[in-house]
Amino acid sequence: QLQLQESGPGLVKPSETPSLTCTVSGGSISSSSYYWGWIRQPPGKGLEWIGSIYYSGSTYYNPSLKSRVTISVDTSKNQFSLKLSSVTAADTAVYYCARLGWNPLYYIDVWGKGTTVTVSS
């Protein structure tokens, strides 16, 4: 059964560039059938798509975050990662990694449990 597990720093200071990693188990990130993505949810609020990546490295970002986001993939480790630069308190959220379908814009059928990132000095 496919499982996704996020890992990250937990607490970061404003202006830093935290990195989050999603480890995929029970399946290959190199499958030609899927994109992989990041979605976040601020406390008590709704969901926001951050971006998606294919195993080849093709990326698609939310325009509202594009200038600060980098998503990368490491097929040898079956992982993909998110870097978010110049963070502020507004970036405090639960960050989910997820499996999408054959298109970078797609519904999400597998979610990680989420990792909380808190931005505070």
Partner 1 sequence: EIVLTQSPGTLSFSPGERATLSCRASQSVSSSYLAWYQQKPGQAPRLLIYGASSRATGIPDRFSGRGSGTDFTLTISRLEPEDFAVYYCQQYGSSPQTFGQGTKLEIK
Per rule CB under 8 A, is residue 7 in the interface with partner 1? no
CB of 107 to partner 1, least distance (A): 4
Which CB sits closer to partner 1, 58 or 111?
111
Per rule CB under 8 A, is residue 11 in the interface with partner 1? no
Beta-carbon count within 10 A of 54 CB: 21
Per rule CB under 8 A, is residue 64 in the interface with partner 1? yes
Q: Residues 62, 51: contact at Cβ < 8 Å?
A: yes
Taking CB under 8 A as the binding criterion, the range among 7-15, 62-70, 71-79, 84-92 that sits at the site for partner 1 is: 62-70
Q: Which of 7, 62, 85, 92 binds partner 1 (CB under 8 A)?
A: 62
- Per-position DSSP letters for 27-93, written without gaps between them: S-TT-TT--EEEEEE-TTS--EEEEEE-TT--EEE-TTTGGGEEEEEETTTTEEEEEE-S--GGG-E
Helix (H) or strand (E) holding 18: none
* 33-52: contacts with partner 1 (CB under 8 A): 45-49
Per rule CB under 8 A, is residue 114 in the interface with partner 1? yes
Q: Which residue has the tokens 């639960």?
A: 94
- What residues make contact with partner 1 under the rule CB under 8 A? 45-49, 60, 62-64, 96, 103, 105-109, 111-114
